[in-house]
Amino acid sequence: MSRRLTLRAPGVALRLDLRTLWVTTLLVVAAVAMVVWTVVAVGVRLPLSEIAEILNGGGRRADRFILLDLRLPRVSLALLTGAAFGLSGAVFQSLSRNPLGSPDIVGFTTGAASGAVLAILVLGVGPGGAAVGAVVGGVLTALIVYALASVGGGAIRRIVLVGIGISAMLVALNSYLIGRARLDSAQAAAIWLVGTLNGRTWEYVRLLGLALLVLTPLLLVLGRRLRMLEMSDDTARSLGVRVDRSRLLLVLLAVAVCAVATATTGPVAFVALAAPQIAKRLTGSAALQLVPSAVTGALVMVLSDFVAQRLLAPAQLPVGVITGAVGGVYLAWLLSVQWRKGS
């Protein structure tokens, strides 16, 4: 029995792997279930009947505030940021042909954080300005890392090591900026640098949602080139792909997605690293795939935020604490696997 399903339209044929389709569907169902569970069970319990009444314009004022102003913006942003980190992680790992080639490992996320911290602490801007600063910081960091790794050729092989070095320098810059800031600003920036969904409003959701609405289709259109680039540059060229131009476009788009997500929540650790690899193992695919990676990232983020809210309730931990704790163990395992393969 074929594992592929072919959908045809006039002039178009789309081939879908059945296992990937089923796994992605199950991941979507799991993410929706986690969203419902989070909205209903975290903090003051809201029955589904009460939620339905509120969404229809009724319900008590206090319950409407809890649902519409606190829980729904937070869980919506968790979904969007998780999808953004998973998507960007899949692109970078595919381009670098290395499971460690994640934006939070090679410094792009840290660069975005530096841009946002500069905008917040030095310019005193709001979420929109921080997003612009994060995008500029992320793109500049990506260009610097790529340029340094390209010296003498072989950028793909060296981008992880160069990125780690640049990331360490940017962490020092962020620490310096926080040390020089006023106490209240420094505390806010320090919490933001861990990665948090606490206190996020619909303004953040609209910002990231608009960015993903524009950038995601472009990345998906370039997804076919990504698979060719993952094989080798020579193979991609033989198939008619403009290697340097395609790689630069993919890097810039993925950095933009990652940077805007970082601007809304801070540099949430390890989601971009883990989500593509989890999706790859679940789908059994030889190559990283963008949509399953994005859905996996969304599920990981919502699940992590649920734990962050429930672990020390009524206190709410930054979601980055949970992803960092779990992701650190995952990174150690991944490094050991890579070391055994190398030996």
Mean pLDDT of 137-152: 82
Pick among 1.20.1250.20, 1.10.3470.10, 3.40.50.720, 1.10.1760.20: CATH of 18-342: 1.10.3470.10
Q: How far apart are CA 323 and CA 129, in angstroms?
A: 26
Residue 2: is its pLDDT beyond 50?
no
pLDDT at residue 85, as a whole number: 94
Question: 248-264: per-residue pLDDT in tens?
Answer: 888 888 888 988 898 88
Class of residue 13 by CB neighbours under 10 A (exposed 0-12, middle 13-18, buried 19+): exposed
pLDDT at residue 175, as a whole number: 87
pLDDT at residue 233, as a whole number: 67
Task: Name which residue leads in pLDDT, 80 or 120.
Answer: 80
pLDDT at residue 228, as a whole number: 77
Pull the structure tokens for residue 182.
Answer: 């006023």
Task: Name which residue leads in pLDDT, 58 or 234.
Answer: 58
- Distances in Å between the Cα of 142 and the Cα atoms of 137, 149, 193, 292 are 9, 10, 19, 24
Residue 96: is its pLDDT beyond 50?
yes
Mean pLDDT of 154-177: 82
Mean pLDDT of 203-229: 87
Strands (E) across the chain are located at 4-9, 12-17
Residue 14: is its pLDDT beyond 60?
no
- Over pLDDT 90: what percentage of the chain? 20
Domain locations in the chain as residue ranges: 18-342
